[in-house]
Amino acid sequence: MQDHENLNMKKTLLVGRHGVGKTTLTQALKGETIHYVKTQYMQYGDWLIDSPGEYAEVHGLGAALAIYSYEADVVVLLIAADDDYSLFPPNITCMVNRDVIGVVTKINRCPPDRAANWLRLSGCKEIFPIDSHTGEGVDQLKAYLRKQG
């Protein structure tokens, strides 16, 4: 993605367990080559904030996510299509006074329906099924994340 395009994007925080595909989605949204990187700390970019999965998984680190959510225009909850459970409790989105959307990753592995239902139960109104490796759904998500006007 070109630098001038970065100015037109909403500041976005990605939240989900480790291995769900937050960093891979970051690379796909930026048009970068996909390669594995373990996120060890909050990666604060021009418009994307990539959080380590441990921040969502470890109770004592959740406060950091709350603080970073105030830096963002949009909070994105991610669940992989093949996940066995959801980290996000019902109606969690009411805790954040920002737009909260859902992304189902790894849709090439199995249908996104179960993960999408978990995201709806968490309070996400908008849900985007994504395959970061093929690019499926990435353009729709980018369109949503573009600033209007």
In this predicted structure, what is the pLDDT of residue 1?
Answer: 46
- What is this structure's pTM? 0.91
Q: What is the DSSP string of the chain?
A: --HHHHTTB--EEEE--TTSSHHHHHHHHTTPPP------S-EE-SSEEEPPHHHHHSGGGHHHHHHHHTT-SEEEEEEETT-SS-SSPTTGGGG-SSEEEEEEE-TTTS-SHHHHHHHHHHT-S-EEE-BTTTTBTHHHHHHHHBPP-
All domains of the chain in start order, with CATH:
3-145 (3.40.50.300)
Return the closest-CA partner of residue 46 out of 91, 86, 9, 88.
Answer: 9
Tell me the average pLDDT across 118-144. Answer: 96
Percent of the chain at pLDDT exceeding 70: 93
